[in-house]
Structure 1
Amino acid sequence: MLVVDWAPNPGEGDKVLYLFDGGQLAPETLTLIALQADELKSYAFLAPDEINERTIPRLARRILAATEARREGVQAYLEHGEHPQKASA
């Protein structure tokens, strides 16, 4: 597990979201990926510097925190996609 993100929402109720390191796919495994046409039209592997332009800010923060946690070999706790100490600073 890389990230736990607490996302309070008065309208929908609080959520706790988890991001896990799923490992790396071998090149031959990539050819086996089958998308459900009614749910997904494509997939892509992105560099961290491409995340902000491809998704909403809250999700981008969560993904980038997971990337950082993986690189540093730690787990991160977030609130609304932000580190609590950074959000209150």
Structure 2
Amino acid sequence: MSSKPELHMPTPEEDAAIQRGIERDPDTFVPTDAQFKQMKRRGGRPKLEHPKIALTVRYDADIIERFRASGDGWQTRMNDALREWLNTHRLA
């Protein structure tokens, strides 16, 4: 038994009915090729001044459990705890 839901594709008749509905909708906007070329692509989120770096690191299970138990945002709180430690300790 698969846990993925089944994909039901519309029949050609259903697809045509959907298309007719789109064409009748006054709010539908289908740009011409020229209009499409003039559109500016948006890049998603703005660039961060100090972006985060993804890496793999290993911590003791009890440390992770305690941070996770504090709820959503636990990774940010863990980052803040490390930053606080760096601000109060001198590295060799």
TM class by smaller structure: under 0.3
Point out the structure with max Rg over C-alpha: 2
TM-score norm. by structure 2 comes to 0.23
Higher fraction of strand? 1
TM-score norm. by structure 1 comes to 0.24
Higher fraction of helix? 2
